């Protein structure tokens, strides 16, 4: 840990902007991770709610097509 502090001190004034950019970058990455994880959860619940309706619709459509083919 002492060597990291010494490395920062020896870097001079340029280390402060680099450190600030590092902190901002980490904050943005964490914020994006939280938002995307929340969106994934919301999308999954919406998909689970919609999927039975889609399956029912496809089943009805397939039975209609099958009946039409039998009439031919």
CA dist 21 → 9, 24, 26, 28, 29 (Å): 17, 5, 9, 10, 12
- Predicted pLDDT of residue 21: 96
- Please give the pLDDT value at position 72: 66
Hey, how many other C-beta atoms are within 10 angstroms of the C-beta on 15? 14
Question: Can you give the pTM of this predicted structure?
Answer: 0.55
- The rounded average pLDDT for each run of 10 residues, N- to C-terminus, in the chain (72 residues) is 82 88 97 93 88 88 85 70
Residue-number span of the structural domain to which 15 is assigned: 2-71
Q: How many domains does the chain have?
A: 1
């Amino acid at each position: 840990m002492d060597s990291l502090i010494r490395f920062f001190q020896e870097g001079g004034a340029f280390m402060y902007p680099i450190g600030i950019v590092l902190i901002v970058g980490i904050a943005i990455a964490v914020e994006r991770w939280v938002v995307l994880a929340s969106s994934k959860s919301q999308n999954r619940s919406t998909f689970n709610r919609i999927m039975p309706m889609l399956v029912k619709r496809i089943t009805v459509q397939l039975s209609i097509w099958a009946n039409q083919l039998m009439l031919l």
